[in-house]
Structure formats: structure tokens, C-alpha cells
A and B are shown apart, each in its own frame.
Chain A
Amino acid sequence: MLHFSRLKIFSIFIVILFGLLFFLPNFFKNEISFLPNKKVVLGLDLQGGSYLLLEVDSKPLFKEKIDAKAFELKKRLRSQKINYKNFNIQNSEILFEINIEDKNKINNSLKDKKYNPKIDETSNEINYSINETLVKINFSDPYLEKIKKNAMEQSLEIIRSRIDELGTREPTIIAQGDDRILIELPGIKNPKRIKEIIGTTAKLTFKFLAKNDSNPNSYDKLNSKSGTETYNIDKQLVLSGEHLTEAQPGFDNLNNNSVVNFKLDSFGSKKFAYATKNNIGRRLAIIIDNKVVSAPVIRDAITTGNGQISGGFSVEEANNLAIVLRSGALPAPMVIIEERTVGPDLGQESIDKGVISLIIGFCLVILYIFYNYKILGIFANVSLLINLILLLGILTFIEATLTLPGIAGIILTVGMAVDANVLIYERIKEELKDETNILIAFDNGYKRVLSTLLDANITTLIAAFVLYFVGSGPIKGFAVTLAIGIITSLFTTFVLGRFFVSLYVKSKKGEIIKI
């Protein structure tokens, strides 16, 4: 155990050199030419920033889809001359009654690939049951999954483009699970604006206000943006936001209010021109997310495809609205279900305190070890220092994120790394009691302690792995430092420390060594 081949010695130094190479750049502000250009990645709790977890709320989307399906179905039933009654939608299920003699007809109609396409080998878009005269229809689970998946993909895209427009520094935006989006925004102290922008579905529609003599079934009551007024809005859609090609914040020439100017595509322009030409004098409501933003009176036919949304916006509100309209509407609303924001001052304070406690903890441990083991203690301490360098070097190399619990993990590793040294030295002490040959005693010490060392560290490693896979965020950072710390400490104590000790023991040439 005390013999080291040249190759081994060489490899040990290569490993240390490698660790040092990646450890050092962390201490320089500027890039150093001969060092790798990498620094340890600080978690949001240390560098400051905002972490947001969003969830796609698919329920409104499912409802929208089933409403559309019901509308299509009614049209079909009418064209096929099937009489139905008590048609309604409950808990995303279409229910209606038919005459018993139409049973086959309806069965064929619902089987029709045009109405009920296959979505994979085993399932169709809808499931239905006909019980005597009662027909029940709902979407199949695979289809709902598909809707959800599409919504998720679109949402991710739209959220990305919205956040990009804000010019945020290095945002991370990734899907998590099948209905969540995780956003990390380093350096953001107050995520209000971002929350506004991702919290807006931005479903834009243009609809006319109902005429005074309209049938109450032909309009909906919608609130104004401020919530103070209610409008009767025709159900009939004039135009929806997907025909927008451009949206820019601007100012109204007349009273200098903030507005959003938009441009429509050619289809939208034509439709808009047609609708406005025939309804001069009526009020056209501009509706965003079911709230009436404004309802200007149409004075002229608008044929250019250009329009303006005014609604008593602040400059920021107009900017935000332009961004969300440009990126398009989210297919489904998003809800923020978790937020963690740390200001940069607190982050810096955490780093400072972490480093101070690391230095103090390290010094205490070093003194204690030196007091206990004297010269061998120095070897242990040097190994401990190199352990720290390797640990940070590897963290930098694999681009692991260092969090506050991660720093605590490093300090804890310092304490626990000593354990391996203590185990070894105590064992050698025992061996020295019965063995007069120093070399053999040392050799036995290392040999016999190995299995204990492995057993003890593997159990801690198990804890670290479980933490990594089950834990979240900062806890993952802790698990990573703990796991790497265990491995580096095994290397520094059992390999490097042993190398130092072997040099020392050999230099003593059999003299009595007291520990």
C-alpha cells in the first residue's frame, strides 16, 4: 500500500493539476490566457434573480374545444336531419337525446372519420356511448393529452419570444413535466413586468356592441378592463387576434395618450374593411382576455388594415400589450405556482457569509487535526486543502450550479473528509501497538481501513444520490457538492494522503514514529 509506481505518481499530479486549472479562474475577474475560461455557475440564491414555475391551465382550452365540437355536431345533426333534444354540455361531456329510430344513423355519423378522426392505432378523437335514446360524447384521453401537449409546446414558444423581447439577460426557459414551464431569470430583482407579460393570455377579439333591440341570447355581458362598466357584446366574432401582423406601442396624436398601433394581414384587412363599412356608427369592442379594453365608435370604413387600441394605458402597459399581441395569444392561461426571488444584495451577502464560514470552519478543522496528529496532521491538512481545490475545480468543470446549501455542503464535506484521515490514522495507531515494523504497520493500517472507508462513504453517497433525484432547486446543489466531495475526499485522503505518508515513512527508514 505504500508503494507508488511512477505512473501512479504522475497520474496523481495530473489530477491535481487538472483540479487547479479549473479552480483558479474563479478568482480572477478577467480571463487569464492560459487558464480555461470557465467559472463556477452561481445559483439564483447567490447571484440574485427570479425563479418562476408556471402551470398551463388546460381546462379553458378543453372547454373551448368541446364547445367547438358541439357546435360542429349540431350542424351535422341538422344536415343529416336527425332530431335531437335536451342538448347540453356537462363536465366536458356532450349530452343529448334522440329518437330511438335514429340510433343507427347517429352511430354512423359519430363513426365518420371526418367527424371522429383516428389519432393513433387504438384511439379516436372522441368516445361516445348511445344508451337507448341518450347519447354521451367526450374526448378520448389520448386526444386530451395531445391537446395538452400541443398547448404546452406553443406556450413554451410564446413565453420564450415574449421574454426575449424584454431583453432579459440569459434567461432559462424549459418545459418541466407535461404541463409546467420553469423560468430562471438571473439578475431580475422585481419580476413584476415579466409576471404581467407571461400572465396575460392575450386572446384578442373584435366584436360589435349589441344593438339595443337585440335578442338577449345573441350577446354576452362583458366587463370593462377596469371592471367598472359592463357591455353587451354580440356573440358574433368580427375578427380575432391571429390576423395581427404587427403591434407597436405609440402615442395618440390628439391627447398624447399611450396606445398600441396594429396592422392586420390581408385577410384580416378585408374582413375588417367589410365589417366596418357596413356598421358605421356602431361601437366596436376590442376585447382582450374577455375584458373590454375599449369600444370606439366606427366613423369610417377602415380599409388600410391599420388600427389603434387605446384604453387609458400607461406607457409600460402599452409596451407590454404590444409585446404580448406580437407574440400571439397563449393557447391556455398560465398560472404562476411557485416563485422565488432573491435580490442581488442578499445574494452577495450570502456568498460573503458562506465564504467566511467556510474559511473559519476550515481553519478550526485544520487546527484540530494538527493538534491531534502533528506531522501526519499536516499531510492530512494539505490533502484537505487539495480536496477543496479539486471539489471546486470539478464543480466548475461540470458546470454544476453552486447554491447556498451547496456552500454548506462544501463546509460539511470539509468536516467529513477528515473522517477518512481520522479512520486511517487511528487504525495505524492500533497497528503500531502490535507491529514493530513501521512500514508493515502503516501498510496494514491502510489495507484494513479500506473496506470500512468504502462502506461508510457509500452510505453517505446513497443519501446524496437520493437527494439529487428527489430534491429540487437549491437542494440539488447541496446533493451535488456532497457527492463530489465524498469522491474527492476519498481520493485526497486515501491516495494523495497515503502518498505523502509513504514518502514520510520511507524517509524515516524504520525509525519509530509516534502519532
Chain B
Amino acid sequence: MINIYNSEIKFLNHYKKFYFISILLILISIFSLVNKGLNLGIDFKGGTIIEMQFEKSFSANKIRSALLNQNLGDIKVKEFGDNKTFLAILEKKSGDANFIPSIKSSLVKSLNMEINFRRVEMVGPKISKELTQSGIYAVLIALILMLFYIWLRFEWQFSLGAILALCHDVVLTLGAFSIINFEFNLSIIAAVLTIVGYSMNDTVVIYDRIRENLKKDETIEILDLINNSINETLPRTLKTSITTLLALIAIYFFGGEILKGFSFALIWGVIVGTYSSIFIASPLILIFKVKRDWNEVVDTTP
């Protein structure tokens, strides 16, 4: 086992290989996003979802065929947690008072079973459009504000490096959702923003150390300096990631179906965020040629 406290891993010496991997993953993500797209939930597409519970185990196919002759547009039915609970995703949306009750009564009639509608969500086309817009704005505004904050606190090289790393994380997260076809809804936007915050947090810790070391020693080779900085902060990086992952894994396995997608996004984001702080954000400082003269200019005018 590697002793994380005295590690002298040459993280940067192979950074081109990692860049190759990351660029490949980004391309795959973009390819999937363009060709397959995201499995958008009703928040962004409009429609109706109904979480229904039966008294005994049942099959999604039977529910689907019972719903099919009700003229509800595109219909998806899937198991939700256990084989008594199902989620029906309907293309049709309506604010009519009888819309949901009539679905229920004809379902009860054709399946001849008691059904409990535990959750109903209906999003009209106007709202879904607005939610999409505000979701995109939220991520962009957050990125810009952070860029600005980092630029205030650090040199521009850090700011640019951090933002590129964040974009890397966001694209890979979106790509992951597209490839494994997980539903992308409003809470995933919240997850993406949290990932952005977390990954930034991680990057800042390493950058802070790089800056501190830059001030300490002006002669050391920049490549070694960054390697040292990553190594020095490695215990923290790993421990924080592990504790955050522990908390998230608890949500993933015990938090119920509704939080599954959300916690999955966060787990994936923490892993990608940790990776990107070390292998993407840090080498960028090297590439952008950060300034070496960190002596404070003393004002000597009388």
C-alpha cells in the first residue's frame, strides 16, 4: 500500500496520457449527448408521472398495456424500488380535474386491483421550457461567478484552469447520464451544481498549496512544485472524498428511489471532481505558464 503521507507520485509526468483519456471521455460524452441525448424527465419535457403502488407484486407490462388504450401519448412504465411500486411516465399532460381520476378509475377497472396513486406530477409545456432555461442559467451563472471569485483570489491561470476542469466534470456527468440512460430531472441540476461546488472546492485546495509553494521557493522546477503540492494535499483530497462518498453511498442505498438519481450524480461527480482536480486542473497551471515572481512589490515612494 502506498503511504499517502510520504508519497512522491509524479502526477504530472504523465499528464498527456490523462488528457488523452479525458478528451476521449469528453468526446464519447458529447457524441452520446448529440446522438442519443439525455433521458429528460417531465420537468424539462413536460408530461405526467404517476407513482403507483399495488397491494401485491405486479408487472410493468400489464400496467403499460392497460394504459395504452387511454390515449395518453408515449408511455413508459418501470419498477420503482420494489415490484409493487411502479412509475408511469406519460407524455400527455392536462390540468383538467378529471385527468388523473379517470386514468386511475380505468386502470383499476381493467386491472381489477386496488391501486394507490402515491405521487402525481404534471408539468405543462410552458413550465418545462422555463425550467430548462433556468436550469441552464443556473449552471452558467454559477460557473461565471466562481470564475470571477477565483480570478479575484488567484492569477488568471488558476481561474481558467479551474473552470476548464469544472467544464470537464459537467460534460462527463451529463455524458454519464446520457450513456446509462438515467432520467435527467430538476434534482440532477441541483446535483450538477453541487458537483461544480465540490470540484471547485477540491481544486482550490490544491491551487492554494501551489500558490503557497510558489511564494516559498522561486527556483524549483514548476513541474516538481506542482507534483509536490498535489502530494502534500493528497491525504486531505483522499480523506475528504472518502467521507463525502460514505455519506452519499448511504443516501444511494437507503434514501429511497426518489433520491437515487440525485445521489448517483453526486457520487459520480465526486469521483470525477477529485480526478479532475489532480489530473486536469493542476497540469493546466503548468501549461498556462504561471508567473514565477511572487515577491510583493513594495511601494517605496516616499
Contact = CB atoms under 8 A, between A and B. Distances in A.
A272 B279 CA distance: 84
A85 B144 CA distance: 59
A467 B193 contact: yes
Contact of B204 (A190, A339, A360, A452): A452
B244 interface: yes
Interface of A: 45, 53-55, 190, 192-193, 195-196, 199, 335-343, 345-346, 349-350, 353-354, 356-358, 360-362, 364-365, 368-369, 372, 404-405, 407-408, 411-412, 414-416, 418-419, 422-423, 426, 429-430, 448, 451-452, 455-464, 466-467, 470-475, 478-479, 482
B interface SS class: helix
Contact of B116 (A345, A429, A466): A345
Contacts of B201: 416, 419, 456-457, 459-460
Contacts of A466: 138, 141-142, 145, 193
A180 to B, nearest CB: 10
Contacts of B239: 368, 372, 418, 422, 426
29 contacts: A190-B100, A199-B96, A335-B95, A337-B127, A339-B120, A343-B119, A357-B251, A357-B259, A358-B250, A361-B247, A361-B248, A361-B250, A364-B249, A365-B247, A368-B239, A405-B190, A405-B262, A407-B255, A412-B266, A416-B244, A422-B235, A422-B239, A426-B235, A455-B208, A458-B149, A459-B201, A460-B201, A461-B197, A471-B138
A425 to B, nearest CB: 9
Contacts of A479: 190
A359 to B, nearest CB: 8
A418 B187 CA distance: 24
Contacts of A482: 194
B212 to A, nearest CB: 8
Interface string B3-32: 001000000000000000000000000000
Interface in B177-233: 186-187, 189-190, 193-194, 196-198, 200-202, 204-205, 208-209, 212, 232-233
Contacts of B275: none
B146 A459 contact: yes
B247 A364 contact: yes
Given A343-B118, A405-B190, A415-B244, A423 B236 contact: yes
Contact of A346 (B118, B134, B249, B254): B118
Given A357-B250, A456-B202, A459-B200, 14 more contacts: A353-B254, A364-B250, A365-B243, A365-B247, A368-B243, A419-B236, A423-B205, A452-B205, A466-B142, A471-B138, A472-B134, A474-B186, A474-B187, A475-B186
A336 B254 contact: no
Given A415-B244, A462-B146, A342 B197 contact: no
A461 B197 CA distance: 8
A340 B121 contact: yes
Nearest to A405: B187
B117 interface: yes
A376 to B, nearest CB: 13
A478 B251 CA distance: 14
A350 B258 contact: yes
Contacts of A415: 243-248
Nearest to B262: A408
B131 interface: yes
B197 A411 contact: no
B51 interface: yes
Contacts of B173: none
A405 B124 CA distance: 22
Interface residues of B, number: 73
Contacts of A456: 200-202, 204-205
Given A337-B126, A360-B254, A414-B247, A346 B51 contact: yes
Of B135, B190, B251, B258, chain A has the most CB atoms within 10 Å of the CB of B190
A495 B48 CA distance: 48
B89 to A, nearest CB: 14
Contacts of A423: 205, 236, 240
Contact of B254 (A199, A356, A414): A356
B49 to A, nearest CB: 10
Nearest to B127: A338
B97 A412 contact: no
B116 to A, nearest CB: 7
A127 B22 CA distance: 60
A429 to B, nearest CB: 7
Nearest to B270: A415
B244 A478 contact: no
B123 interface: yes
Interface in B142-189: 142, 145-146, 149-150, 153, 186-187, 189
B232 A430 contact: yes
Contacts of B193: 463, 466-467
A464 B194 CA distance: 8
A467 B190 contact: yes
Contacts of B232: 430
B153 A426 contact: no
Of A404, A416, A448, A474, chain B has the most CB atoms within 10 Å of the CB of A416
Contacts of A463: 142, 146, 193-194, 196-197, 200
B198 A471 contact: no
A462 B235 contact: no
B149 to A, nearest CB: 6
Contact of A364 (B127, B233, B246, B266): B246
Interface string B90-101: 000001111011
B60 interface: no
Given A345-B116, A345-B118, A408-B263, A451 B208 contact: yes
B122 interface: yes
B122 A338 contact: yes
Contacts of A461: 197
Interface in B242-284: 242-251, 253-256, 258-259, 262-263, 266
B137 interface: yes
A28 B70 CA distance: 47
A225 to B, nearest CB: 14
A418 B243 contact: yes
A202 to B, nearest CB: 14
A346 B119 contact: yes
A466 B266 CA distance: 18
Contacts of B150: 459
Given A199-B96, A452-B208, A459-B149, A471 B190 contact: yes
A252 B297 CA distance: 95
Given A354-B255, A412-B247, A462-B197, A368 B127 contact: no
Nearest to B209: A452
Nearest to A200: B97
A422 B232 CA distance: 13
A418 B236 CA distance: 10
A458 B242 CA distance: 21
A475 B190 CA distance: 7
A195 B250 contact: no
B243 A460 contact: no
B129 to A, nearest CB: 11
